[in-house]
Amino acid sequence: MNFLEKRILKDGIVKSGNVLKVDSFLNHQMDITLIEEIAREFKRRFDKKPISKVLTIEASGIGIAAFVAKEFGVPMVFAKKSKSINVDGEMYVAEVVSFTHKNKNQIIVSKKFLQQDEHVLIIDDFLANGCALQGLISIVESAGAVVDGCGIVIEKGFQYGGRAIRNMGYHVESLAIVDAMDSETGSITFRDQKND
Ligand code: G4P
């Protein structure tokens, strides 16, 4: 079991509806020592790639991606969620449907901050159905840049996002993959991964 899985078992709370609450250390209150360890682990896993930019989506991805960008010594850009339909031509736009929140957002990144031929590492806290990640991938590709990898802190392996995105040929590294959880007993089952 790796450092993150241990922390999830210690402080994560399984809620009904297959929701894992990790707000005491990851996405509300943030344990910065843990985030630094997460960032070092992503650096180790993507070290061979010529990453020139880290991309994430607001809100919870930002704090994590900032530390990852520092490890790589590159800038971090976050996609903004926009309700407006009047997005000008200076922006890359993708549509993201959230199954959890049952809403639809446009996500936008200014063309100034994503150049053709850049090598992008996408970072996010959760991968569930993969809509946010697919939106970020589509933005990178509209810019003519390369997705060198996707680093996810917690993947919900029983939802289809991870499988779908790996099947499209992208390199996805998830530090913890939850294959099952039970809100009645509080039990969490992680997938065995060779990288740990
Ligand atoms: P998807 O992007 O993978 O398709 O995920 P989905 O629509 O199902 O999830 C929408 C939001 O809910 C995302 O955050 C995602 O990170 C979060 N989420 C999904 N499953 C869980 C879970 O089990 N626990 C927690 N804590 N969050 C989960 P978001 O709307 O982008 O929110 P934020 O980043 O602005 O906080």
What is the CATH classification number for the domain harbouring 138?
3.40.50.2020
Q: What is the β-pairing status of strands 76-82 and 53-57?
A: parallel
Q: 28 CB less than 6 Å from ligand 1?
A: no
Q: 160 CB less than 6 Å from ligand 1?
A: no
- Percent of the chain topping pLDDT 70: 98
Residue 95 in domain: yes
Tell me which residue range forms the domain holding 180: 3-190
Minimum CA distance residue for ligand 1 atom 13: 126
CA of 84 to the centre of ligand 1 (A): 21
pLDDT 10s digits, 8-21: 999 999 999 999 99
Hey, what's the torsion of the CAs at 166, 170, 171, 177, to 10 degrees?
-30
Ligand 1: which atom is nearest the Cα of residue 100?
8
Q: 99 CB less than 6 Å from ligand 1?
A: yes
Q: Which of 157, 173, 164 is nearest to 20 (CA)?
A: 157
Answer for the pair 149, 121: CB distance below 8 angstroms, yes or no: yes
Predicted local distance difference test score (pLDDT) of residue 82: 86
pLDDT 10s digits, 152-161: 999 999 999 9
Predicted local distance difference test score (pLDDT) of residue 25: 98
62: which 2 tokens?
A: 């930002």
For residues 114 and 91, give the distance between their C-alpha atoms in angstroms, rounded to a whole number: 10
167: which 2 tokens?
A: 């099947």
Residue 196 in domain: no
Q: Which of 126, 134, 165 to mutate to test the pocket of ligand 1 (most atoms within 8 A of CB)?
A: 126
Look at the chain and report how many structural domains it folds into.
1
pLDDT at 87 over 80: no
123: left (phi over 0), alpha (psi -120 to 50) or beta: beta
Q: State the chain's mean pLDDT as an integer.
A: 95
